[in-house]
Amino acid sequence: MFGRINKTGAAWAPKGIRPVVKIQKVRQFLYTFSAIFPHTGENFSLIMPVATAESMDIFLKHLSKKYKKYRIIIFTDRAPWHTKRLHTKYDNIRIVEIPPYSPELNPTENFWDYIRENFFKNQCFASIEHVEERLVEAFEAVSNDKAAIQSLSLFSWIPLSF
């Protein structure tokens, strides 16, 4: 979830100058659905206006179509939109549910944290459209840095070969 409620953090400033960071509390959000491919550093993401089972289904449909020659395993955290009916809907996608409150098992969580830290920290947005533009910029930048995605997502428990 990305939106117009910003997160502040440390900022560099010249010695003797105190940095000023605006705080924004506008409750408008967009939702990202992402799949990370730890071995190659590729990612596939969609930005959606809501997080629902229908949104998840749209994401899975596009993912399945784009990577139709691949066998895809997706780890989900049992969010309400990760419904059981989607688990076997697509022939090339298998969904594995991880235990609740275990983001360390989901490589995508590090990806989103990286985007928040590097593209959204200390930022205020004039509209939700500006949030979407920033998300697109972030996804494009990160997609071009496959080594960064690999370092964020290739956990020790993921086999190096199949």
The CATH number assigned to the domain holding 107 equals 3.30.420.10
Question: Which position has the higher pLDDT, 13 or 34?
Answer: 34
Distance between CA 1 and CA 50 in Å, rounded? Answer: 9
Report if residue 14 sits inside a domain: no
User: What are 28-81's pLDDT values in tens digits?
Assistant: 889 999 999 988 899 999 999 999 999 999 999 999 999 999 999 998 888 888
Q: Is 153 left (phi over 0), alpha (psi -120 to 50) or beta?
A: alpha
Total number of domains constituting the chain: 1
Whether 2 and 131 have beta carbons less than 8 Å apart is answered as: yes
DSSP code string of 59-120: HHHHHHHHTTTS-EEEEE---TTS-GGGTTTSTTEEEEEPPTT-GGG-HHHHHHHHHIIIII
Report if residue 17 sits inside a domain: no
Distance between CA 30 and CA 116 in Å, rounded? Answer: 13
Angle at which helix 146-153 crosses helix 128-143, to 10 degrees, equals 90
Report if residue 160 sits inside a domain: no
pLDDT of 20 over the 90 cut: no
Report if residue 76 sits inside a domain: yes
| pLDDT the model gives residue 5 | 65
Report if residue 87 sits inside a domain: yes
Report if residue 50 sits inside a domain: yes
Report if residue 158 sits inside a domain: no
Tell me which H or E stretch contains 151. Answer: helix 146-153
Report if residue 49 sits inside a domain: yes
Sequence-distant (6+) residues with CB within 8 A of 14 are: none
CA distances from 38 to 82, 93, 134, 136, 162 (A): 21, 16, 24, 20, 13
Q: Which domain holds residue 29?
A: 2-7+23-153
Does the predicted model carry a pTM greater than 0.85? no
